[in-house]
Amino acid sequence: MEPAEVEQLVRAVKAGNRKQYGPLVQQYQQRIYRYCFHMLGQLQEAEDVTQDVFVKGLERLGQYRENTSYEAWLYRIAYHECLNKLKRMQTYSRLLRIFSRTVPVMHIDQAAGGVEYNAELCEALLRLRPVDRHIILQRIVEERPFEEIAQQLDMSYAAVRKRYERAKNQLKRDLIQKEEAADERRFSY
């Protein structure tokens, strides 16, 4: 869908034609879901947050400024919803540790639809700070330009670029260390 078509649909929804929101959801639902899955690392949580993103997108459509990227605006909502979910998950996890005196193990049952699953990469991504994970996912998975990512995060282009490089290098280091540890275990006989 072309940006002009998206803007036309947004204007129609703002004018009261809520049926025009359906095509917007269809256009962006898979991308937002894939993004949420990579941010959260859990299928069910990603589904819930994706739904929340589109509900909030409709509720807050009056706050959307025309002549900016609707997609970037939607990803910004998704980013903040994922951060909120991560905070709630951390709080819940702390409560579980306090009451059960064990450390919960996070696992991923299966990959998100249409996404190649790599357990080591997923674990390394989840070790990044959420803002850095957002930048990596937007740049590499969603192939967004740095300017758009900067707009989503309300950061300068230079700051996003620098964070991207640092996060990418951190991922590389984590994956290399994991690979070296696996090699040591294989050859330690």
Predicted confidence (pLDDT) per residue in 81-101, tens digit: 999 998 887 765 654 554 444
Does pLDDT of 42 surpass 80? yes
How many angstroms separate the CA atoms of 49 and 36, rounded?
A: 7
Beta carbons of 38 and 137 less than 8 angstroms apart: yes
Between 61 and 90, where is the model more confident?
Answer: 61
Q: How confident is the model at residue 180 (pLDDT cuts 50, 70, 90)?
A: confident
Q: CB-side exposure of 116: number of CA atoms within 13 Å?
A: 4
Residue 123 has a pLDDT of: 83
How many angstroms separate the CA atoms of 63 and 43, rounded?
A: 29
How many angstroms separate the CA atoms of 139 and 171, rounded?
A: 14
Long-range contacts of 139-146 (CB under 8 A, 24+ apart): 139/164, 141/34, 141/35, 141/38, 142/31, 142/35, 142/75, 144/72, 144/75
How many angstroms separate the CA atoms of 143 and 137, rounded?
A: 8
Residue 115 has a pLDDT of: 45
Residue 189 has a pLDDT of: 56
How many angstroms separate the CA atoms of 44 and 157, rounded?
A: 33
Report the percent of the chain where pLDDT is more than 70: 83
Residue type, 16: G
CA-wise closest residue to 135 among 168, 101, 110, 180:
168
Q: Residue 101 — φ and ψ, nearest 5°?
A: 60, 25
Using one digit for the tens of pLDDT, what is the confidence trace for 135-174? 998 988 788 899 999 999 999 999 999 999 999 999 888 8
| Four-residue CA torsion sign, 33, 38, 44, 49 | negative
Alpha helices in the chain (DSSP H): 3-14, 21-40, 43-59, 70-100, 119-127, 130-136, 146-153, 157-186
Q: Could you tell me the CA-to-CA distances from 48 to 36, 68, 80 in Å, in that order?
A: 9, 26, 14
Residue 45 has a pLDDT of: 93
